[in-house]
Every structure is written in C-alpha cells, then in structure tokens.
Amino acid sequence: MNAVRLLEYGGQLVFNDVPTPTIARDEILVKIKSTAVNHLDLVEASGTLRQILAIDLPWIPGHEFSGVVEQIGSDVAGWAPGAAVFGTSEKGAYAEYLAAKPAAIARKPANLSFEEAASVPVAAQTAWEGLFTHGHLEKGQTILIHGGAGAVGAYAVQLASHAGATVIATASRGDEAYLNSIGASRVIDYREAQFEKALREKVDVVFDLIGGDTQKRSFLVLKKGGHLVAATQPVSPEETARHGVSGAMMRLAPSADMLGRIARLLEEGTIRPDVATVYALQDAAEAWKDIAGNLPGVHGMSPSGPDGPRPARRRAHGKIVLRVA
Ligand SMILES: NC(=O)c1ccc[n+]([C@@H]2O[C@H](COP(=O)([O-])OP(=O)(O)OC[C@H]3O[C@@H](n4cnc5c(N)ncnc54)[C@H](OP(=O)(O)O)[C@@H]3O)[C@@H](O)[C@H]2O)c1
C-alpha cells in the first residue's frame, strides 16, 4: 500500500510503497478514505519530546481517519465489511490501510463526507472530555474557552452551548462572528484585551487550549471550586490549591461510546465539522508546512512561545485533511 512515512526524527516525510498491515484477532482492517493532521503529529516527528512521545522509526503519522471496513478479526463482533467508519488509532493513518481497534471507532455520520468525518475524532473527543469528563460542565454554568476558534475550541463552544452553558471564548477579533454563529455569547479578542480584566464575573470552568501566561491568568477568573482543564501543559498544583480550584492537564482517551454520541449530534445537525483545507495524501509535507506556523503552545513548543506575537490567521477554520482515496 502507499503510505507517508518519517524515516528519522526531524526528517522529511516520504511517500512510498510499504506492506499492507495484517490484523490481529481483535482488530479491523480499514481502507482509509481520509485522515487529518494534528499538531501532535508534528511534535512526535520532531523528536523534541521523545521521552514522553516516543515513536518507532520508520513511522507512519496520523491519529484519526475515516474509511470503509475491509476485513474483520475473528474475535471482533458487531462490524461487517463495507461499513463506513471513523475513529482514532495509535497506529499511523497516513496510509491506504490501517489495523484499527473497534474500541476507538464508530459508524461514520451519514450526512458527513469522508473528508469531514476524518476531521472529527481527535478534536471533538478532546472537547467532549475537556468539558464533561474533566470540567464537569453543567447546564446553567459559565465556561471560558481559550482558543475557541481552533479545531478543538470550535467543538468545545458547540458542545458547551448545546449543554446549556454560557460560553465565553478568547480568539482573534476576526473570529467573533464565527464563534457567535456556533454558540459563543461573548468573544474576547486575545490580541487586544486581557480576559481577566474584560470579565466582570467569574466562571465555573476554564478550558485552556493555549497554555503559558494564558493558563496562569486563568486562575484569576475561576470561581472557588471551579475547574481548570488544560490541553497543552500541566497545571500547577500549588496554584490550584492557592485559588481553591481543581486543575488537570487532560490527555485524550478516545472511546467508541463517546465518538458514537458525537456522531449522533453531527447527524442531527446539533454540531458541525469544519474542514479548512484538503490535501492529497502524497502532499502531507505541504500540509505540515501549513500547520507548522500555527502551533499555539503545543506543549510550550510554539516558535514564539505560547503567548508571544503570532501572525494573523493564515487559514480557514477547522482541520487540515489528507485525502487518501
Ligand atoms: N491534551 C490533548 O489530549 C490534546 C488533544 C488535542 C489537541 N491538543 C492541543 O490543543 C491545542 C489546540 O489544538 P487545535 O487543534 O484546536 O489548534 P488550532 O486549530 O491551531 O487552534 C488554535 C486556536 O488558538 C487561537 N489562539 C492562539 N493564541 C491564542 C491566545 N493567546 N488566546 C486565545 N486564542 C489563541 C488561534 O487563533 P489565531 O490563529 O487567530 O491566533 C486558533 O484559533 C494544541 O496545542 C493541541 O496540541 C491537546
């Protein structure tokens, strides 16, 4: 099969022929239609965090996909060849075939294209877990979402709004109308205003998709007993104790059940996906260049630092998708 691979840390992506994976008894062979690019792919490939994000070289990147079930392992129940699916995988999805675990896939929403479906699993499940598993968000509460116009943030805004919360988001000024259209009641321009000064009332939950100084200042806007959920860097236990809040850095733990619930919300039109750009699989290196300048505090690795000066948005909302077949 054709696949994109990284041969050495920090090296170029190469597109060539590799053996098609064989499946274990508890796996499903998926013929991939589309996959999506995540910041994590680039961080893993750089090798900068290899102590905690180790990869086996040569390595096929890609943590999410959409496709069609091709073959079923003998221990797998509930799936049949031909089913359209989407999901996450520990194994690389920048390829024509993938051996996937049933515990991390769900039926593709019928109203979504394969390109749209591939853009959903990581961002939407990160948002879901951030809000509900770690943030314990409830109807009637107020949440502040940092980076609300990004891929994860847009799902967080939609899911929080659907759950009956009041949603405040930080973003660039140009994203205000977009964020209002998906459920934010207030948008604070992070380039122009300090959110802790702009906010009159404290919030129940902060979902921090930025880190750095943004995270530090977030303690000032949380109610006592509130929750700070971070997606990019650990939360200081000293600061959480000092402010009487809980704080945790989340790491996505995908599940078929959660993805299935997200699929239903997508199918009924309650939430929607956004695809910024579609590249062909063999142009993955171009897609990486597209995202590389837009890494807001990926575990503190942004070239300009998490809150440093950044160029204005260069691309449309949503994920960068790679079309495989
Ligand atoms: N822990 C986990 O399990 C997990 C899972 C998925 C993702 N993540 C991480 O979550 C982060 C967000 O991912 P993503 O895919 O949503 O990124 P993304 O699509 O690139 O979005 C980032 C957004 O943040 C905005 N932004 C940048 N600096 C900001 C600031 N200081 N204040 C407010 N907004 C700011 C950007 O706006 P402009 O472009 O207008 O500046 C952009 O809209 C990444 O660091 C990613 O690695 C973690």
The tokens describing 85, both together, are 């699916």
Indicate which atom in ligand 1 lies nearest the CA of residue 318.
19
pLDDT number for residue 295: 58
Dihedral (CA of 191, 196, 198, 204) sign: positive
Nearest in space to 153 (alpha carbons), one of 322, 313, 325? 313
State whether the beta carbon of 310 lies less than 6 angstroms from ligand 1: yes
pLDDT tens string, the chain, 325 residues long: the values are 999 999 999 999 999 999 999 999 999 999 999 999 999 999 999 999 999 999 999 999 999 999 999 999 999 999 999 999 999 999 999 999 999 999 999 999 999 999 999 999 999 999 999 999 999 999 999 999 999 999 999 999 999 999 999 999 999 999 999 999 999 999 999 999 999 999 999 999 999 999 999 999 999 999 999 999 999 999 999 999 999 999 999 999 999 999 999 999 999 999 999 999 999 999 999 999 988 866 544 433 343 344 444 555 556 899 999 999 8
Distance CA 254, CA 40 (A): 15
- Alpha carbons within 13 angstroms on the beta-carbon side of residue 78 total 10
| Residue 59 near residue 71 (C-beta atoms within 8 A) | no
Distance CA 8, CA 249 (A): 29
Pocket test for ligand 1, best of 39, 52, 159, 298 (most atoms within 8 A of CB): 39
Q: 296: CA distance to ligand 1 center in Å?
A: 5
Q: 166: CA distance to ligand 1 center in Å?
A: 21
pLDDT number for residue 292: 81
State whether the beta carbon of 151 lies less than 6 angstroms from ligand 1: yes
Distance CA 52, CA 114 (A): 32
State whether the beta carbon of 42 lies less than 6 angstroms from ligand 1: no
| Residue 84 near residue 66 (C-beta atoms within 8 A) | yes
pLDDT number for residue 117: 98
Indicate which atom in ligand 1 lies nearest the CA of residue 39.
47
pLDDT number for residue 66: 98
Q: Which residue, chain included where needed, has tokens 């006592």?
A: 224
Q: Which residue, chain included where needed, has tokens 């000293």?
A: 238
State whether the beta carbon of 228 lies less than 6 angstroms from ligand 1: no
Torsion of CA 229, 232, 236, 237, to 10 degrees: 50
pLDDT number for residue 302: 41
The tokens describing 177, both together, are 């109308």
Q: 221: CA distance to ligand 1 center in Å?
A: 20
pLDDT number for residue 325: 86
State whether the beta carbon of 171 lies less than 6 angstroms from ligand 1: yes
- 0.75 surpassed by pTM: yes
Distance CA 273, CA 318 (A): 7
State whether the beta carbon of 313 lies less than 6 angstroms from ligand 1: yes
Distance CA 264, CA 253 (A): 19
